[in-house]
Chain A
Amino acid sequence: MALPSFMKHIRVLEAAGLIVSMKVGRVRTCTLRPDRLAAVERWFGEQRLLWEKRYDNLDNLLATMDGENNDE
């Protein structure tokens, strides 16, 4: 990977708070922020759960509304 595109990747990760980087002279050191990564993963997991639960409710509601679907 060429340096400019590599730097672009770094900037995206940094903007997202997933890594921090520090430049000393010619050397840039990147550090992962596992807490942040975990928080993002967790949030999406919770969103998935929220939609699952929400749609379970909707299944139940639809079953009460549409008699012909009850016998499934």
Chain B
Amino acid sequence: MTNNLLFDFIVDKKNNTMTIKREFAAKRKLVWDCYTKSELLDQWFAPKPLKTRTKHMDFREGGYWHYVMVTPDGEEYWGRTDYQTITPIDNYTALDGFSDESGVINSELPRSKWDVTFTDASEHSIVRTVVSFGSTEELEKVIEMGMQAGMTSTLERLDELLQTLTK
């Protein structure tokens, strides 16, 4: 599927943030639902060929989403998103981090803060996600962990596949 939907990915190394801005060919309410209902999140959150499965979802301030991303060979990456503020259907903020299967947050690893804003763009909508880390050291830790966990190699294989597809 080719599309001309806006996609911006901006890295700000000085402030340890990345900003992802993306347009969707749907009304804001629908996109908001996809972000906040686990049965919908399960259908898109993990990049292919990984799959998402929700273990717990309580979308309210102080509640959390506990999920796993599973690779085709059964490797599991557990994550937990703790919701801090929610303003339907404009914005939510959350802390995203790694957890184990029982939902215990990995305290060794820093969590990133997500600030997600939904706006209208005529018949379309735009989602802007700012992912920020507390410090350069925190970001470094996450990068190191990512390389150890092998998530990277999964995505690299994906990258290779994409390159063969676009040739």
Contact = CB atoms under 8 A, between A and B. Distances in A.
Nearest to B27: A66
A40 B34 contact: no
Nearest to A55: B22
A67 B164 CA distance: 32
A16 B47 contact: no
Given A47-B18, A55-B22, A62 B3 contact: no
Interface residues on B, range: 35 or more
Contacts of B156: 46
Contact of B40 (A12, A16, A61): A61
Contacts of B44: 54-55, 57-58, 60-61
Contacts of B20: 51
A61 to B, nearest CB: 5
Contacts of A56: 1, 48
